[in-house]
Amino acid sequence: MIRRKTFLIAGLILFIGVIGWWLAAPLFFDNAVNEAFPFEMPSEAEMAAMSDAELQELEAEFEAAVPDATTVDQLSPEDEGKVEQMVQEAAATVMIETNVEEPMPGAIAEWTIIAQGRFVDADNFHMGSGNATIYQLGNESVLRFENFNVTNGPELHVILSKHPSPYQSSQLGDDYVDLGKLKGNLGDQNYDIPIEIALSEFQSVVIYCVPFHAVFSIATLK
């Protein structure tokens, strides 16, 4: 187990180094990405044998290696796509599935449904399903996910958009509302909506990857 953990952490250090080199040396970027990715991801058997603490440590080191939005914005569209694909492939293995099971705050019969929709896939790689419902009680508004499931990824946020079907980041507009980091990629969960938000102006809920400006899933509100 110690030998396996040492191997995985060494691989993560190599992964961080490669990412940094690619981002710091754009003149060599095209040559680098044509080579095999020099990071051997842990197998399903290795992941299954790791303790919860080891899995969390692995995920934390992976998330620390992911470039931030400012760094990604400096890349060409082609290079950004290559880095995003590499990170997403690693995320599918390394990131822990987080299942949230939050109850509705208070008796659901007391709340009024303002809008609701179903999550759909953004594309063949970024996929989601489940229900999104906005409830209101007096001055309080809550966005609730039920039977929710979305592709795991780094720095996913929950966004309200005035566009009904923003499949691309350019369609989100500059006046979207960020409700914060996604609590989990699975399960029922609640997000408080600020009281000053004019709910009638917003037409969709979006699961959005901040570093890569990538839409993962959309629920059009009706």
Give the sheet arrangement for strand 177-181, strand by strand: 99-101, 186-193, 140-150, 128-137, 112-121, 214-220, 204-209, 156-161, 177-181
Query: Which of 56, 78, 94 finishes a domain?
Result: 94
Q: How far apart are CA 140 and CA 61, in angstroms?
A: 38
Over residues 80-96, the mean pLDDT reads: 82
Evaluate whether 181 touches 153 at the Cβ level (below 8 Å).
Answer: no
User: Higher pLDDT residue, 29 or 218?
Assistant: 218
Query: Do 79 and 114 sit in the same domain of this protein?
Result: no
Q: How far apart are CA 22 and CA 28, in angstroms?
A: 7
Query: Do 120 and 210 sit in the same domain of this protein?
Result: yes
18-27, 35-44, 130-139, 153-162: lowest mean pLDDT where? 18-27
Query: Which of 63, 94, 125 finishes a domain?
Result: 94
φ, ψ (nearest 5 deg) of residue 217: -160, 150
Q: Which domain covers residue 210, as residue numbers?
A: 100-220
Query: Do 45 and 125 sit in the same domain of this protein?
Result: no
What pLDDT, in 10s, does the model give residues 52-64? Answer: 888 888 788 788 7
Predicted local confidence at residue 60, as pLDDT: 81
Over residues 136-155, the mean pLDDT reads: 95
Query: Do 129 and 82 sit in the same domain of this protein?
Result: no
Query: Do 27 and 106 sit in the same domain of this protein?
Result: no
User: Higher pLDDT residue, 214 or 39?
Assistant: 214
Which tokens go with 135? 């409830």
Query: Do 30 and 104 sit in the same domain of this protein?
Result: no
Query: Which of 30, 64, 94 finishes a domain?
Result: 94
Query: Do 83 and 46 sit in the same domain of this protein?
Result: yes
Query: Do 115 and 206 sit in the same domain of this protein?
Result: yes
Strands 128-137 and 140-150 come out as antiparallel
Over residues 151-177, the mean pLDDT reads: 95
What pLDDT, in 10s, does the model give residues 30-87? Answer: 444 443 333 456 777 887 888 888 888 878 878 877 888 888 888 888 888 888 888 8
Query: Do 107 and 176 sit in the same domain of this protein?
Result: yes
| Count: domains in the chain | 2
* Domain CATH code at residue 153: 2.60.40
Q: How far apart are CA 214 and CA 189, in angstroms?
A: 22
